[in-house]
Structure 1
Amino acid sequence: MTSAHPTASRQRASAPHAKEHHMRKTVRTSIAAAAAAALLALTACGSSTDSSAPAADGPYTAPAKDITATISVSNWGDPGDKAVYDGVAKRFKEKYPNVTVNNNFTPITTWTEYVNKLVTQAAAGQAPDVINIATEGVELGMSNELFTPLDGFLKNDPEAASLRKDIDPKLLEGFSKDGSTYLMPNTFNTMVIYYNTKMFKAAGIERPSDDWTWDDFLAIAKKLTTGSGANKVYGFAMPYYSFGITPWLYSNGTSMMSADLQTAQLTDPKVKETLGWVRDLVTEHGVSPQPKGADPYQLFPAGKAAMTGAGHFVTGGFAKAGFSDYDILPWPKGTTKSTVFGAGAFAISKTSENPALSWEFIKMLTDQQTQKQWADAGAAVPSTKTAASTPEFLASPKHADEFYNSLSYAKPVAAPRAYNVLDPAFMRAMDEIMSGQDIGSSLEKAEKDVEEALQQ
């Protein structure tokens, strides 16, 4: 997805199925905003009933356990995710036996079907009560007021207080606007550097410090680039998708978008400088293969690359492939220490006639029991510190705590309401840049496409 997406969110990857992994990345980054766009129809076509959340200073009382009602949930993911969601629905049914949960699940690899389902539901006047969406689609959703603010629940529900304290504030900030929180995060991914511990040891390279720099990174990549032809081993296998390139931008103090996500800044001199440096890893220094057709999540576990960049989403696949000779590091510093994160989260539709029941369901989707399931799945990072601190989650790699700790210097993926235009436009520019075309003109074309979309 991206998130996630790369992001965020709950992607699984395995060395034997890396093509599928990349397809999921492409699917998520190109469609998360499209999913939010489909949700615009939900506002127009859904129920006109306006059921608000609890007042900011009013008490919250959970619905009676014998209440009779139906709530619908719009979900996405892979079979592992579906098992988690089905488990939550079963637990919810035990608490509210007379409540029917219509858990509308769409596999992560069929985003068109997911969007079509949302549109179909809207046309039938059946907008979902609970919406699962990723960082990439949130700005469009919030700018069109699709979600009910959760402030009343978060302030007045005693069970919410402990959960909120257990979630890093940055995750909640990423789902907030104008002082109100609209979504509850359940999982996330940050981009970190993976390195082959055996290859580092054989080359006499100590683990770099957590404050290592671009220069340190390049020096190590050069030392670990050896051989030629079929025996070529690269120092770094580039994660070639926008979420994977973004940490280079952030760590050089720049971004594809302005801080308020209203203006594209792809022609910023620092963006040009950063992408020139990324290209030079391939064309000048030769420490990374041409990224087109070079799958980092095959090269790295196969010992054909000493380092790569990824989120936690690759760990499950590495485990299945029997690959464990790796550890992780923070992304190296350019002008600053930074990386990117993307998350998955749940919102209550503004048109929901059962906001309190929807809130109770969201609590189960994000509670410690569900969080532990995410932690055990080897996909995304659970949103609570408790789940990310269990011995099972921290068992591998050695510095697994960095997955959660990296939030302290991470920033959310720059996802404007026209993210479905930004992502492909940026990658078209990257393809041109990596093929030797002029960086400035390639980025100018991409920025023009994005600005036109933002003005619509």
Structure 2
Amino acid sequence: MTDSHIPRRTLLRYGAYGAGAAALAGTAASWDRLTGADIPGRDDGSLVVATLGSAFDPATVDALTKGFHRIHPDIPLRVNAVQAVDWSDFFAKILTQIAAGTAPDLVYVATEGVQLFAQRLGVSLDRWVRRDAAELREYFADVHPSLVESMMYEGNLYQLPVEFNAADMYLNKQVLKRAGAGFPAADWSRDDFTALLRELKRSGGAHFTPYFWTNRLWGGVMPWLFANGTNLLKESKAPGGSWLWDTFYPAADRKG
């Protein structure tokens, strides 16, 4: 509070502003919530497929689009190649799109995202897989069950795997030559690997590191643990899924 006196005209003007703001607030409260889909041209009726930008190259996207249109020429398709450093960034951007009201229709994710989408966002493919079982038999016959299992959550299937990756080891031939070492044999052992590293270290000097990790998403040492039959966590299997295994993978061909 101050000693100054507000002129009557000013007071009336402020009162008009307040009344106008209250009226506007009341009107806004009755509006439907605006989302990104309300932007003109944003929602063109296309089937939107979101994937990590680096997961598909332009040729693959073009082949996917053309293949889809051969079967469904009446459905417009738009591939949303989300630019992200890795899958965690991709998931964050997808969640932002959903919050903005521009959720994609289909999302292709790596195994890291299956549980997130299964628990919170996605719809299982079970009923469609059952419906199209005859057509999908050829697909499942060509895909290892471990890949299918990685796309399941509590007995339900959320994605059909289309690819897999594996850890690779790269050897610098010049470094091997400088150490006087030959290329390892195809059946080299862990002890052979350790001996080779020590030889490279001796020939390279005190400041030479004979190895480095290139794939941070694998967690550095994790491939070595898997290759030696161990893990940091205790693995278990969720119940359910017999409807898929009994349909596409004969019991005689399954292990465990």
**TM-score bucket of the superposed structures, by smaller chain:** 0.5 to 0.7
- Residue 193 (structure 1) aligned to one of 146, 163, 169: 169
Amino acid paired to 1:238? W
The CA distance in 1 between the partners of 2:211 and 2:90, in whole Å, is 36
2:182 aligns with: 205
1:148: Cα distance to partner? 1.5
Q: Does 1:237 align with 2:221?
A: no
The CA distance in 1 between the partners of 2:117 and 2:91, in whole Å, is 16
TM-score for the superposition, normalised by structure 1:
0.36
2:52 aligns with: 76
Contact 2:114 2:152 in 1 (8 A): no
- Percent of residue pairs bearing the same amino acid type: 25
1:131: Cα distance to partner? 1.0
1:152: Cα distance to partner? 4.2
Cα deviations by residue, 1:365-423 (Å, 9 ceiling, x for unpaired): xxxxxxxxxxxxxxxxxxxxxxxxxxxxxxxxxxxxxxxxxxxxxxxxxxxxxxxxxxx
1:93: Cα distance to partner? 2.4
Contact 1:72 1:129 in 2 (8 A): yes
Cα distance change, pair 242–254 in 1 and its aligned pair in 2 (3 A): farther
Q: Does 1:176 align with 2:157?
A: no
1:440 aligns with: none
The CA distance in 2 between the partners of 1:254 and 1:79, in whole Å, is 29
- Secondary structure of the residue aligned to 2:123 is coil
Q: List runs of 5+ in structure 1 lacking aligned partners.
A: 1-44, 46-68, 263-456
Contact 1:71 1:102 in 2 (8 A): yes
Cα distance change, pair 112–219 in 1 and its aligned pair in 2 (3 A): closer
The CA distance in 2 between the partners of 1:142 and 1:135, in whole Å, is 11
The CA distance in 2 between the partners of 1:193 and 1:146, in whole Å, is 36
- Residue 259 (structure 1) aligned to one of 235, 242, 245: 235
Contact 2:115 2:153 in 1 (8 A): no
Q: List runs of 5+ in structure 2 lacking aligned partners.
A: 1-34, 36-44, 239-256
1:260: Cα distance to partner? 4.0
2:68 aligns with: 92
TM-score for the superposition, normalised by structure 2:
0.59
What is the Cα-based RMSD across aligned positions, in Å?
A: 3.5
1:162: Cα distance to partner? 1.5
- Residues 5-404 of structure 1 aligned to structure 2 (within 5 Å): 70-78=46-54, 81-109=57-85, 112=89, 115-124=92-101, 126-144=102-120, 146-150=122-126, 152-153=128-129, 156-197=132-173, 199-200=175-176, 203-210=180-187, 212-213=189-190, 215-225=191-201, 226-228=203-205, 233-239=208-214, 241=216, 243=218, 244-260=220-236
Rg larger in 1 or in 2? 2
2:249 aligns with: none
Bigger RCO of structures 1 and 2 (CA < 8 A, at least 6 apart): 1
The CA distance in 2 between the partners of 1:219 and 1:135, in whole Å, is 35
- The structure carrying a bigger strand percent of its residues is 1
1:170: Cα distance to partner? 1.7
Contact 2:148 2:160 in 1 (8 A): yes
Cα deviations by residue, 1:330-361 (Å, 9 ceiling, x for unpaired): xxxxxxxxxxxxxxxxxxxxxxxxxxxxxxxx
Cα deviations by residue, 1:206-235 (Å, 9 ceiling, x for unpaired): 52343612x221111111222337xx6543
Paired residues in the alignment total 191
The CA distance in 2 between the partners of 1:79 and 1:133, in whole Å, is 9
Amino acid paired to 2:187? D
- Secondary structure of the residue aligned to 1:187 is coil
Tell me which stretches of 4 or more aligned residues in structure 1 moved more than 6 Å: none
